[in-house]
Amino acid sequence: MMKPQDDRARIVELFADMVFRIALSRTRREDAAEEIFQEVFLRLFEKEHTFNEDEHIKAWLIRTTLICCKRYQTALFQHPTLTLEEVGELAALPEEDKGLYQAILRLPSKYRLPIQLYYIEEVPAEECAKLLGLRPGSFRSRLSRGKAMLREILKGEGIDV
């Protein structure tokens, strides 16, 4: 059994980018993503959680990030959003992936998160379905439709896929 309090630096190093990207993708605001990032890791380290392995920590972090994002979005009736260009500059991805990330952000939210979790964060499909509260078949359908939409967006920008 592993307690996150004993290995804070390693956990933050492994999962910080993932938590920030998910929060930024959901809120489209850097300041909100930073607040959610802090809240998620505070929740992890303040309570006595025990995990079997890093995959359990990763799943807990994704689920908690999604909950915090939902709470944030319902708490505010209206808030300004960043342009896709600003989000592309802020995303914690290598330079060569920023065009792809900007294209992913153009997807409707019901397709954006499955693509991000499965392809960018490399969460297994069954776990993604659980995290999103979907049946596995529904998750795979969203993933397939999202990929098709993403392919069209990238073709429209002249990027070969």
- Per-residue pLDDT tens digits for 93-149: 566 666 777 788 888 888 988 998 898 888 899 999 998 889 999 999 999 999 999
pLDDT at 12 over 90: yes
Q: What is the mean pLDDT of the chain?
A: 82
16 shares its domain with 76: yes
140 shares its domain with 71: no
59 shares its domain with 119: no
pLDDT band at 8 (very low <50, low <70, confident <90, very high): confident
48 shares its domain with 6: yes
Average pLDDT over residues 60-89: 71
User: In which domain, by residue range, is 58 found?
Assistant: 1-85
CA distance linking residue 131 with residue 114, whole number of Å:
10
Domain final residue, candidates 85, 112, 132: 85
pLDDT at 79 over 70: no
CB-based burial, 64-92: b 16+ in 10 Å, e otherwise: bbbebbeebeeeeeeeeebeeeebbebbe
Residue 52: per-residue pLDDT: 85
Please tell me what DSSP assigns to residue 134: -
Q: Please state the pTM of the whole predicted model.
A: 0.65
